[in-house]
Amino acid sequence: MDFDLSAEQEAFRGVVREFARTEVAPHAGAWDRDHTFPVDTVLAMGRLGLFGLPFPEEYGGSGADLTTLCVAIEEIARADQSMAVTLEAAVGLGANPIFRFGTDEQKARWLPGLCAGTALGAFGLTEPGAGSDAGATATTAVLDEGGDEWVINGEKCFITNSGTPITELVNVTARTGPGEISTIIVPAGTPGMEVLAPYRKMGWHASDTHGLVFTDCRVPAANLLGERGRGIAQFLAVLDEGRIALAAMALGLIEACLELSTTYARDRTAFGRPIGANQAVAFKCADLAVAAGAARLLTYRAAWLRDMGRPFRQEAAMAKLYTTEAAVAATREATQVFGGYGFMDEMPVSRFYRDAKVLEIGEGTSEIQRLVISRALGLPVS
């Protein structure tokens, strides 16, 4: 058994950590306060090669594995969850479906920009009436009379990266026939796709999230992604990998809470001694260290299984479930360690507390992860 990442991966971790420390962390509080999507920082992440990590060099990627992507996401997540989810969604939900299911023409057209991070992709699955129950998708796509174009009608909600200045496409799931859901690439700016005003959210303030409305939105028939009718299978496959990447985000958050809490517990004094001299505070830090360790093992084991080409659906669900619930608890405890200061906006733990909750919701709620795990145990749960 070998728990070490390669020397190359550790060196890469150092590069991303330094970038996050100097280019992300100092600004994250202001972006959060002002609800700013920092395009320049996203472009800088692109120049660092983060958006092309798991894709082949022919598209401008670096041909790395999912484990390496998780390292990058973990390090960005320690500084800022919004930038981490921008990266996670762009790679996992924007570019990955095109890489996995696209034609050669689609890959040649879209992947170079997505890999460079000069363009962002989004995934439009969730609808006002269909979230966990994605099979209830009501958006329709009908081929016009000549069979040349898809005509899309419907509505999507909560779509990450769908309205940034550098968004280039949305992979939209739509009903293309009775009992048939397909994925169609809709380029940004296509007439008939309206990007609604950004949501005001509890957290992830610097991440871009919009509702989308489709009204007779026409795209070429050739924009069908992969096989017609395979939309459900496609998003299930994409989400299995996405859940590991989301676990890496949660891991980064727990590690940040551990680091901040331990430092504060050493430095802050009350009753004439460091607050960390009280077991009540020290044990919170100890529990954070345990959570970080368990989260790291679950996350990287799932990533490793996937990179080895072995089944990993259950392990991905377990990693996502445990790490995200542990991250919510970690941010609550870290805020408690900081006392009143923890409730103040200028403290990162305050932002982390608000950012954490959605980890238990996005890319499959905790309840859906428990369903996946229960089924893998052979239970007849529905």
Ligand X SMILES: Cc1cc2nc3c(=O)[nH]c(=O)nc-3n(C[C@H](O)[C@H](O)[C@H](O)COP(=O)(O)OP(=O)(O)OC[C@H]3O[C@@H](n4cnc5c(N)ncnc54)[C@H](O)[C@@H]3O)c2cc1C
Interacting residues with ligand X (CB under 6 A): 89, 93, 122-126, 131-133, 158-160, 201, 204, 209, 358, 361-365, 367-368, 371
End-to-end CA distance of the chain: 36
Using the minimum distance from each CB to ligand X, give the nearer residue, 64 or 206. Answer: 206
Measured at CB, which residue is nearest to ligand X? 131
Whole-number minimum distance, CB 232 to ligand X, in Å? Answer: 13
Q: How far apart are CA 37 and CA 362, in angstroms?
A: 19
DSSP string across 197-236: PPPP-SS-TTS-EEEEEEEEEEEEGGGEESSTT-HHHHHH
Using the minimum distance from each CB to ligand X, give the nearer residue, 183 or 299. Answer: 183
Whole-number minimum distance, CB 188 to ligand X, in Å? Answer: 14
Single-letter code of the amino acid located at 29 = G
The H or E element containing residue 187 is: strand 180-187
Whole-number minimum distance, CB 130 to ligand X, in Å? Answer: 7
363 noted as active-site residue: yes
Using the minimum distance from each CB to ligand X, give the nearer residue, 282 or 328. Answer: 328
Whole-number minimum distance, CB 220 to ligand X, in Å? Answer: 23
Strands 193-195 and 269-270: unpaired
Which residue is catalytic, options 88, 127, 155, 363? 363
Among 39, 50, 41, CA closest to 15? 50
Single-letter code of the amino acid located at 256 = A
Using the minimum distance from each CB to ligand X, give the nearer residue, 238 or 292. Answer: 238
Contacts 24+ apart (CB under 8 A), 289-293: 289/258, 291/254, 291/258, 291/326, 291/329, 291/330, 292/251, 292/254, 292/255, 292/258, 292/330
Whole-number minimum distance, CB 270 to ligand X, in Å? Answer: 37
Q: Which residue numbers are catalytic? A: 363
